[in-house]
Structure 1
Amino acid sequence: MQPTRDFQIILISRSILILNRSVIHKNILNSWQSFVSNGCTSRNLRKLKLDRFVVSKSTLDGIQFSINSGEKLVKKISAVIIVIAFLCVTGVFGQAELEKYIGQYQVTGAPVMVTVSLASGKLSVAATGQGMAEIELISGEDYAVKGTPLKLTFEKDATGKVTGMIIHQAPGVDVPAPKINSSSEAPSDKSPHKSGTVMANGIKMHYLDWGGTGDVVILLAGLGNDAHVFDEFAPSLIDKYHVIALTRRGFGETDRPAGPYDTTTRVEDIRAFMDAQKITRATLIGHSLAGDEMTQFANLYPQRVIKMVYLDAAYDRRKNFSCVNDQPGGGLPPSVMRMVGEVMNCPGWEKIVATDMPPPETVNVQVSTMKAAVQFVPDYTKIKVPSLAIYADADLPQGPSKMDAETTAKLAAWWKEKRAPMMHASIDQFRKQMKNGQVVEIKGATHYVFVGQFKDQVITLVRDFLAK
């Protein structure tokens, strides 16, 4: 009997996308053999071709096959397919669950980024300037970093979205690291940009280009970050602007020379990049340390700046670091405290024991850049271009999310006495000195104001400001 041409697959799922018709049983078998030999991956499952038949994207709750055919062979094949599909779906679910952890996590109070990647069904982490290390599940959201004494606890919100991690460096030393995007240097980076390099000021500079039309917007990352920190922010501007993000010297894929790393040299990097790309004028949007570069650039090259947006970036950092690591809730990890000690020339800094120190060349970059930050004196008095400063909540203590009531109270008192006054002084300075400036303080926001909970609010503020 000739097999019929009605072949129907019903995918009972949260996303139901099905079907076409036509195929003889030989094509069914060949296609599934190919599928299995190529591996039960989510990509293969999302696009399984059977002659003119395509099974599209799905998160499966169940599978029902219905085959109208007069041949027993087709029924046998269908039974095998059900078993294979069930096993593959289990693997796909595991892959999708692990993909939630992929991204970049910023260590609170330190110029260190932790990148989580996924390869061959295993999660790995890498801190700024250090190699990858595989992590193993202990229980729940607790993981151990193989080959080190470090442990990690991932944090999720009520919807199950991963929002950050706590790094357990030693007993009583728990350092929070909020998740700032869902990109990594692995192929999981889905942001619609192209990646490139250009020689500027004697070094190879890495940049990301999202395209777009209109005036050029250059995004400048904070200390410890690369251009990918803007992967989820940049696309919101490309309908009206040509958006590019730079990675400063010493970080990411940009060259890492022995020096120098002072603010003026980094400003010359930006100017040289604009020259190389034939960008006459641009709007500068920068986060954190980039505020120093923007302020200096606007003072040196006012004719090349259209507007500026400071993303929790307009600060006087001369008192940003201290030789006393007394913040309740853990404070800075030993590796960072050792670098801060060198920056501030703290007594006995070289005796600080840190088992997780980055390689010497990375330490050189971090220390040299931080030294420049604590020596830079911001001066907004001569800047005339329209400038918007968006600030995080200066009165909101930032520390580990899981603390007992006593530690929480101590952190609040410490923050009120030592941290908040410095932040308010910088905000007042910007407000008084920037003649054509605007200040917005977002209550409840933390340092990475442009990602997470307040991202949409910040995007609206930026778009409205640029449109004026």
Structure 2
Amino acid sequence: MTAGGAAPGSTTPAPRTLSIEVDGVRLHALEWGAGGDALVLTPGLGQSAHVFRELGPALAADGRVVALTPRGHGESGTPPAGYTVAGLAADLRGALHALGIARTTLVAHSVSGAVATRLGADHPERVRGIVYLDGIHDYTRWDEVVRANPYPPPPQPFFADARIRRAWHRRYVPGFWCAPLDADLAARPGPADESRRLELLAEVVHDVQSHPPPYASLRGPLLALTAGEDVATQFPWLDPADAAARQRAEAYLRDVRAPWRRASAERFLHEAPHARVAEVPGGHFFFLSARDRVVDEVRAFLRTLPPDAS
């Protein structure tokens, strides 16, 4: 494992940049703080450790925090195979070993919630608890939810210049912009490489859709923070003056997305009755738009964990 400094100019504490070798694959990571029980942050599909450039240092007041970039993302390597939930969980376990972290609490965004669940189910001795950041979706129904969307965003302009690609992400992904998202976008490869990566990452999507996470196999405490969606967070590109479009979007959220989200949470709680679910106002990236609330929730969760006797 090698370490390096971060570029100056950030308004938040600069992370230490790490390069970790796991089974011949180089994984990029960012690290803040020291001591205490380590927290490991894992980003959603397509994102890198850079999306945690504000959440990471806010949580590091209590100890060591590491944000890991999975294979095929950001500045990590892109081997030709290993793009399954089990493969990414094996990478995560290998990274913990390389980092000298015997046990950890995982904070997992989006699809990486399935990876955290897999690691916790297969290796409970390595996971003290899991915090899901909008990461308990039932992806077996994802295609159905997407097809019902009355206002899907236009295709991503992979081969456009950086300015156009940035504008697309800003308008259609989170609906807002901030330094972590800018750093995450800057860490992506060129258009051709990113297009190839998306082909590989489609294997992860297929795996998640085919194999629901085994929540019942988890032993440790669990907290799921879910997004409090509304038209502003899900359709920021709609014209506010278009009442008909707004009504159609509201109907989609009420009749399709809300029942899907509710069913996902109910399954999670049924299989893991010791877990807790809490809604946070905002869209899928609420850990950026409502960072302080997320920090408070994570810290409260950590206080409930039993002492680590390992």
Matched residues in 1 for 2:229 and 2:275: separation? 19
What one-letter code is carried by the residue in structure 1 that aligns with 2:200?
V
Matched residues in 1 for 2:222 and 2:108: separation? 11
Structure 2 match to 1:363: 198
How many aligned positions are there?
262
Structure 2 match to 1:284: 106
What one-letter code is carried by the residue in structure 2 that aligns with 1:262?
T
Q: Please say if residues 145 and 257 of structure 2, whose CA atoms lie closer than 8 Å, have aligned partners that are also in contact.
A: no
For residues 268-295 of structure 1, give each alpha carbon's deviation from its aligned partner in whole angstroms, at most 9, with x where no partner exists: 0001111112211111011111100111
Structure 2 match to 1:455: 291
Q: Does 1:440 align with 2:278?
A: yes
Structure 1 match to 2:250: 412
What one-letter code is carried by the residue in structure 1 that aligns with 2:85?
T
Please point out which of 244, 263, 268 is paired with 1:430.
268
Q: Please say if residues 315 and 378 of structure 1, whose CA atoms lie closer than 8 Å, have aligned partners that are also in contact.
A: no
Q: Please say if residues 213 and 238 of structure 1, whose CA atoms lie closer than 8 Å, have aligned partners that are also in contact.
A: no
Poorly superposed stretches of 4+, deviation over 6 Å: none
Q: Please say if residues 381 and 433 of structure 1, whose CA atoms lie closer than 8 Å, have aligned partners that are also in contact.
A: yes
The 5 A counterparts of 1:369-408 are 369-393=204-228, 398-403=234-239, 404-408=242-246
- What's the CA shift for 1:448? 1.1
SS in 2 for 1:251: coil
Q: Please say if residues 206 and 253 of structure 1, whose CA atoms lie closer than 8 Å, have aligned partners that are also in contact.
A: yes
- What's the CA shift for 1:395? 6.2
Q: Please say if residues 228 and 283 of structure 2, whose CA atoms lie closer than 8 Å, have aligned partners that are also in contact.
A: yes
SS in 2 for 1:237: helix
Matched residues in 1 for 2:102 and 2:115: separation? 18
CA gap 1:445/1:369 in 2 versus in 1, 3 angstroms: same
Q: Please say if residues 134 and 284 of structure 2, whose CA atoms lie closer than 8 Å, have aligned partners that are also in contact.
A: yes
Q: Does 1:332 align with 2:168?
A: no
- What's the CA shift for 1:363? 2.9
Matched residues in 1 for 2:118 and 2:236: separation? 34
Matched residues in 2 for 1:394 and 1:300: separation? 32
Of 292-301 and 426-435, deviating more is 426-435
- What's the CA shift for 1:457? 1.3
Higher strand residue share: 1
- What's the CA shift for 1:321? 2.4
Q: Please say if residues 384 and 436 of structure 1, whose CA atoms lie closer than 8 Å, have aligned partners that are also in contact.
A: no
Structure 1 gap segments, 5+ residues each:
1-184, 337-356
For residues 10-56 of structure 1, give each alpha carbon's deviation from its aligned partner in whole angstroms, at most 9, with x where no partner exists: xxxxxxxxxxxxxxxxxxxxxxxxxxxxxxxxxxxxxxxxxxxxxxx
Q: Please say if residues 201 and 268 of structure 1, whose CA atoms lie closer than 8 Å, have aligned partners that are also in contact.
A: no
For residues 60-93 of structure 1, give each alpha carbon's deviation from its aligned partner in whole angstroms, at most 9, with x where no partner exists: xxxxxxxxxxxxxxxxxxxxxxxxxxxxxxxxxx
- What's the CA shift for 1:419? 1.8
CA gap 1:324/1:218 in 2 versus in 1, 3 angstroms: closer
Structure 1 match to 2:39: 217
What one-letter code is carried by the residue in structure 2 that aligns with 1:460?
D
What one-letter code is carried by the residue in structure 2 that aligns with 1:459?
V
Structure 1 match to 2:301: 465
Matched residues in 2 for 1:214 and 1:382: separation? 27
Matched residues in 1 for 2:57 and 2:117: separation? 25
- What's the CA shift for 1:218? 0.4
Q: Structure 2 length as normaliser, TM-score?
A: 0.78
Matched residues in 2 for 1:211 and 1:323: separation? 40
The 5 A counterparts of 1:139-158 are none
CA RMSD, Structure 1 to Structure 2 (Å): 2.3
CA gap 1:323/1:258 in 2 versus in 1, 3 angstroms: farther
Higher helix residue share: 2
What one-letter code is carried by the residue in structure 2 that aligns with 1:362?
R
What one-letter code is carried by the residue in structure 1 that aligns with 2:284?
H
- What's the CA shift for 1:325? 4.6
For residues 161-187 of structure 1, give each alpha carbon's deviation from its aligned partner in whole angstroms, at most 9, with x where no partner exists: xxxxxxxxxxxxxxxxxxxxxxxx975
Q: Among all aligned residue pairs of Structure 1 and Structure 2, give the percentage whose two residues are the same amino acid.
A: 31
- What's the CA shift for 1:415? 2.2
Matched residues in 1 for 2:53 and 2:18: separation? 15
What one-letter code is carried by the residue in structure 2 that aligns with 1:440?
A
- What's the CA shift for 1:398? 1.2
Q: Please say if residues 384 and 435 of structure 1, whose CA atoms lie closer than 8 Å, have aligned partners that are also in contact.
A: no
Q: Please say if residues 132 and 223 of structure 2, whose CA atoms lie closer than 8 Å, have aligned partners that are also in contact.
A: yes
Q: Does 1:197 align with 2:34?
A: no
Matched residues in 1 for 2:145 and 2:220: separation? 37
Q: Structure 1 length as normaliser, TM-score?
A: 0.53
- What's the CA shift for 1:259? 1.5
Please point out which of 301, 312, 316 is paired with 2:123.
301
For residues 414-467 of structure 1, give each alpha carbon's deviation from its aligned partner in whole angstroms, at most 9, with x where no partner exists: 22222221111111111221132111113x321112111x22111111111112
Structure 2 gap segments, 5+ residues each:
1-5, 158-190, 305-310
Matched residues in 2 for 1:222 and 1:391: separation? 14
SS in 2 for 1:451: helix
Matched residues in 2 for 1:300 and 1:423: separation? 26
